[in-house]
Structure 1
Amino acid sequence: MAQSDLATASLRNEPAYRGIVRSIESKIMSGQWSVGNRLPAELAMAADFGVHRSTVREAIRVLEQNGLVRRHDGGKLLYVTAPREADISSKITAAIVLHEISFFELWESMRCLEPMLAECAAKRIDDDTLDVLQANVEKTRAAFEDKQSLVQLDIEFHQTIAHASRNRALQLSRQPIGELFYPAFLNVFSRLNAGERLVFAHEKILLALRTRNAVEARVWMDKHIVDFRRGYELANLDIDAPVCWSKQP
């Protein structure tokens, strides 16, 4: 298996370390090496692949960057790990920006994801999380004049619902898009007095969640996302322009 991966790399005119990366990735993804398993020593892998130790080190560097292997507490031993959400998100966020994805495309994606997350959350949310959302709505009502706080509270409201959905696939899909989508509304809030509409929508969504009404939660979240687009256009922002990265407030 190791030699065939190196042969494939050679045919593709790629460095040998990429063949090693693919081989190790294959073992991890197939479950042959599970999360928590320790990787063989560098010298052992070098002998197995028939390459110099430095080539194995380069492959390991790539695997570490991809979040598939990690050293515990700065030690020398390498272990298989699951990529962290933040690491996954940052790569996808960069791809969205560099591929010049438009804000309209981002909005369409959020319109698919957010209502489904709200529907799932209505079925699974607990009372403690409902209290967190209630506190968020109250803080939002008091923050109409503080645009930065308004955006941050909006981000937290939607993140809390996403976590309450308990659907990790949806959460992983949403995170990089949300990191670009919601901060963009600082421009909207800076140009429009949209605080009342924001709180009204959040209260309706919260009521649906509190009554465990999945249909209403989905409907009101969809209305909320549609209203986001309306506000974006009323603020005379170009919805077809490529989305820009900005640090979250």
Structure 2
Amino acid sequence: MLVEPAQKRSEPLFERVKVTPAYQMISGAVEKRILSGELAPGMLMPTEAELAEQFGVNRSTVREAIRQLEQEGLLERRSSKRLQVTMPGIYDAAPRASRSLLLQQVTFAELWQVAVVLEPQAAGLAAVSASAEDIEQLAANVERLAMHHKNGGSMQEHAQIDIEFHALVARASGNRVLMLAREPINLLYRPSLIKLQAVLPQMEKRNLEAHKRIFKAIATRDAGQAQEWTRKHLIDFQRGYTLARIPMNTPIETHHLE
């Protein structure tokens, strides 16, 4: 008895097999060892030749894997030229994340919705956790902004001092997750600050007064006031967009992104 052949399907029964490139498999294996703690920061890695022999691949494949791990901040070459395991810094991922947000055409409204939650939280935690050094650095920053306002410095310098203040507050919070979460937003706020100040020159004085209030609350360990003044500061910043007649759904610009 003859069996009729199966009718042809419009869609294939199986998907094509996807083969992961060898260099990605190697970088993944090394990354797994680093994240598990088996390879700790400061440990020297085997040489390229030794890694090639252990993985059973050629040196060019190992070199490509190493390049990827270096870009991720997991390996680096020190003066000895030997590869060393390292720990990515809190701010290493910020530029890459910021560029991703730019590609997504993120708007000021979206940034503000996140910042109005994260920034007051950072200030409240800073009021509890700030060290004497943190307080000293915040005081110096506020003084710099006051001198800048008195001497009539550039908008770019004002924006940089402003951004540094909020970064110092976040650092004083002692919460590394919060620091990492807000850093891409911090980078993207700079063009917004410059844009607004160009239209609203009074903004610099208002920023200075807000920073003084936030700093005082942190220095006196008043978490509630630190959160409240930071929230007011961000609402005032939002109001600036309305006064400047700039739509909040305007995508953040790439100018001055570092």
Find the counterpart in structure 2 of residue 43 from structure 1: 49
Q: Deviation at 1:11? A: 4.5
Find the counterpart in structure 2 of residue 5 from structure 1: none
Q: Deviation at 1:136? A: 3.3
Query: Matched residues in 1 for 2:56 and 2:169: separation?
Result: 50
Distance 1:46 1:133, change over 3 A: closer
Map of 1:177-216 to 2, 5 A cutoff? 177-192=185-200, 193-216=202-225
Q: Deviation at 1:156? A: 2.2
**1:113 and 2:118 aligned:** yes
Given candidates 158, 170, 195, the residue that maps to 1:162 is 170
Q: Deviation at 1:208? A: 1.2
**1:28 and 2:34 aligned:** yes
Find the counterpart in structure 2 of residue 58 from structure 1: 64
Map of 1:1-249 to 2, 5 A cutoff? 11-73=17-79, 75-144=80-149, 145-146=152-153, 147-192=155-200, 193-247=202-256
Find the counterpart in structure 1 of residue 8 from structure 2: none
Is the contact made by 1:141 and 1:195 (CA closer than 8 Å) also made in structure 2?
A: no
Distance 1:246 1:59, change over 3 A: same
Q: What residue ranges of structure 1 are gaps of 5+ in the alignment?
A: 1-9
Distance 1:126 1:24, change over 3 A: closer
Query: Identity over the aligned pairs, expressed in percent?
Result: 38
SS of corresponding position for 1:87: coil
- Count residues with an aligned counterpart: 239
SS of corresponding position for 2:256: coil
Is the contact made by 2:39 and 2:85 (CA closer than 8 Å) also made in structure 1?
A: yes
Q: Tell me which protein shows more helix as a share of its residues.
A: 1
Query: Matched residues in 2 for 1:248 and 1:18: separation?
Result: 30
Is the contact made by 1:110 and 1:174 (CA closer than 8 Å) also made in structure 2?
A: yes
Q: Which has the larger radius of gyration?
A: 2
SS of corresponding position for 1:184: helix
Distance 1:52 1:139, change over 3 A: closer
Is the contact made by 2:191 and 2:257 (CA closer than 8 Å) also made in structure 1?
A: yes
1:76-109 deviation line (CA, Å, top 9, x unaligned): 3111111133431121111111222222111112
Is the deviation greater in 105-114 or in 196-205?
196-205
Query: Matched residues in 2 for 1:129 and 1:42: separation?
Result: 42
TM-score w.r.t. the length of structure 1 is 0.87
